[in-house]
Amino acid sequence: MLSNHNLGLDLMRATEAAALAAARWAGRGQKETGDGAAVGAMREVLSHVRIDGTIVIGEGEKDEAPMLANGEKVGNGDGPAMDIAVDPVDGTRLLAWGMRNSIALLAGAEGGSMYNPKECFYMEKLAVGADAADVIDLEAPIGENIRNVAAAKGKTVDQITVGVLNRDRHQDLIAAIREAGAATRLFTDGDVAAAVMAAHPDMPRLDMMAGIGGSPEGVVTACAMKALGGRILARLWPTSDEERQRTLDAGHDLDKVLDTNDLVTSDHTLFVATGITPGDLVEGVTYLPDGGARTHSIVMRSASGTIRYVDAYHHLDKVEEYQRRHEVAGIDWK
């Protein structure tokens, strides 16, 4: 079991560092460089956190990343065994284009409790908050789900908004949502933030999140759902015959609907996000006239059901000195 000490605040330092490192690259069209800066900064901070951590959901095979890859050990080894899921920049294209909603993400759970979908990069997903957690069914038509969610939330169908990634593969889904009488909110990248907003009681902009997105993001979302009392249902969705066979060879059932508890079995989870660019879930990094910067983070802890919002000031001269001392930066902070 994770200790009563709120490790989420320690892990938040890692997402703050990633956000500060990446934000300088916003709108510069260099998503790999911005992501690389965030990876290095997050990894350095994680090395000092008092955990015996293993990256289960990392930059991984799809990103061809040399650091924070699946299986890498993180933390100083002096603390609880933890599974760690990271996405130093969720929304690398958003960062490169200078668009909204690029965030630094990290989730943690007791060691051995996170589902590892590394053989299959995508999954079909449906996520809602606590008030509709018992009425969704991934195998039912989206219109039926919308009607059930509306009834559970005490709304009419035309008051329901569904978040969907703006992808060609979702044309039929979007049409079905609108045909059912609900509205859509399309987003370019980052379905973790959309799922969290759909489940968050103080964020009424979304009622559901639906569609096909990254499998690693599904596991991260499950950690947030444990803290919010929400629910995510998912099913693996291979994109090629080769990926399908690899997934089957790994022992995965492609027909199985994965529930929140399948994606993370522990009831002790942490979810942390820090904004990089301005966003709906958290605000982005703000650079100030005195040379400092402000970050905005959200920290969730399932054991206590606590959701914290942290507005932090950073003296960038000290950040620069820290990064130079630990050889993290790789960017010009002047």
Output the CA–CA distances (angstroms, integers) from residue 254 to 136, 139, 154, 173, in the order listed: 19, 13, 34, 20
Cβ contact 138:225 at 8 Å: no
Buried b (16+ CB within 10 A) or exposed e, 199-224: bbeeeeebbbbbbbbbbbbbbbbbbb
Q: Which residues are annotated as a binding site for substrate?
A: 90-92, 122, 167-169, 189-191, 214
CA–CA dist 153, 287 (Å, integer): 40
Question: Which structure tokens are listed for 208?
Answer: 């559901």
Residue 139 to residue 132: CA distance in whole angstroms: 16
Annotated binding site for Mn(2+): 35, 59, 87, 90, 217
What's the full length of the chain, in residues?
334
SS3 35: helix
Burial class (CB in 10 A: 0-12, 13-18, 19+), 185: middle
Cβ neighbourhood burial of 158 (10 Å; 0-12, 13-18, 19+) = exposed
Q: What residues are designated binding site?
A: 35, 59, 87, 90-92, 122, 167-169, 189-191, 214, 217
> What's the Cα-to-Cα distance from 182 to each of 142, 147, 177, rounded to whole Å?
10, 9, 6
Which amino acid, 59? E
